[in-house]
Amino acid sequence: MRKQVAAANWKMNLTYQQAEELITGIINTPHQLSAHQYAVFAVPFPYLTMVADKLKGKANTGVAAQNCYTKTAGAYTGETSVEMLKSIEVGYVVLGHSERREYFNESNEMLAEKVNVVLAAGLTPIFCCGEALSIREAGTQNEYVGNQLKESLFHLSADELKKIIIAYEPIWAIGTGKTATSDQAQEMHAHLRSVLAAQYGTDVANEISILYGGSVKGSNAKEIFGQPDVDGGLVGGASLKADEFVQIIQALK
Ligand code: PEP
């Protein structure tokens, strides 16, 4: 079975004390992760070490940065390198979230570079893709999102690609309360898998976990994650409540 992942994206929320309370609340809420199920926490940079320490020894959990820079070191004031993340035992880096694409002008080309540095350091990229409402309304979402994968990932070898997690997040469903239907999610996930299969073959495509993101909640996670090509979720708002995020973890198949 493919890796199933519940990834929390705390974005730029919470004070240190609130973050500590949230991760402790999640740990203390009874839940179980099977061998193929993972819970990953994409938390603000200042909290990475604290959250990693709290999760130490907890099987199938991990900590993710929400971004990184393309250079490994040097005079880049305000940036964070993958080497730094690696040195504090961060295992994952979220790349290309739509908020970073929109507010920080991250292009497919720049994301290809970020994917390279993250893989080179031995960390796992969680590569985000997804279309705006105007693109969905024009009916060109398959081509648009397929192109995001092609431009940022298709320079990779099959072995490199297999180390990536993809998160499909339709922008019109992020933080809006408007979830894609489970059919819409399945349709896009199957399309993306076919795009991967056309380039790398079916066996490789079938190994890649594709998460859905966009207003996933405790109440809809089971139905969305139950779709055959949906391998869990990247969760914003609902990951800020301990009991609800645990419910989402428990909805993994
Ligand atoms: C996200 O930001 O990755 C996200 C999916 O947010 P929300 O769950 O709040 O829509």
71-95 pLDDT per residue, tens? 999 999 999 999 999 999 999 999 9
Is 189 marked active-site? Answer: no
Average predicted confidence (pLDDT) for the chain: 97
Single out the residue of 8, 3, 12 nearest to residue 234, CA to CA.
8
Label residue 75 left, alpha or beta by phi (over 0 means left) and psi (-120 to 50 means alpha).
beta
Gap from CA of 10 to ligand 1 centroid (Å): 9
Ligand 1, CB cutoff 6 Å, lining residues: 9, 169, 174-175, 213-216, 234-238
Single out the residue of 182, 234, 244 nearest to residue 64, CA to CA.
234
Cβ neighbours of residue 155 under 8 Å, at least 6 residues apart? 112
Contact 215, 181 (CB under 8 A): no
Gap from CA of 174 to ligand 1 centroid (Å): 5
pLDDT over 90, % of the chain: 96
Q: Residue 55 CB: number of other CB atoms within 10 A? A: 20
pLDDT in tens, 121-170: 999 999 999 999 999 999 999 999 999 999 999 999 999 999 999 999 99
pLDDT of 187 strictly over 90: yes
**107 annotated to a ligand binding site:** no
The catalytic residue among 99, 106, 131, 169 is 169
pLDDT of 235 strictly over 90: yes
Lookup: tokens for 61: 């959990």
Lookup: tokens for 17: 């004390």
pLDDT in tens, 90-111: 999 999 999 999 999 999 999 9
Confidence at 178, pLDDT banded by 50, 70, 90: confident
Single out the residue of 38, 88, 36, 92 nearest to residue 63, CA to CA.
92
State whether ipTM is beyond 0.90.
yes
Q: What is the largest CA-CA distance in the chain?
A: 48
Q: Is 53 helix (H, G, I), strand (E, B) or coil?
A: helix
Gap from CA of 236 to ligand 1 centroid (Å): 4
Q: How far apart are CA 93 and CA 85, in angstroms?
A: 9
Q: How far apart are CA 253 and CA 239, in angstroms?
A: 18
Confidence at 45, pLDDT banded by 50, 70, 90: very high
Q: Calculate the alpha carbon distances from 211 to 177, 215, 251 in Å.
A: 18, 13, 13
Confidence at 1, pLDDT banded by 50, 70, 90: confident
Identify the pLDDT of residue 180.
Answer: 86
The full set of domains in the chain, from first to last, is: 4-250 (3.20.20.70)
Is 97 marked active-site? Answer: yes
Which residue's CA is the nearest one to ligand 1's atom 3? 236
Q: How far apart are the first and last CA of the chain?
A: 10
Provide the CA 115 distance to its chain's centre, in angstroms. 13
**215 annotated to a ligand binding site:** yes
Contact 242, 27 (CB under 8 A): no
Torsion of the alpha carbons at 116, 132, 172 and 216, rounded to the nearest 10: -30
Lookup: tokens for 250: 């428990």
Q: What is the pTM of this model?
A: 0.97
pLDDT of 248 strictly over 90: yes
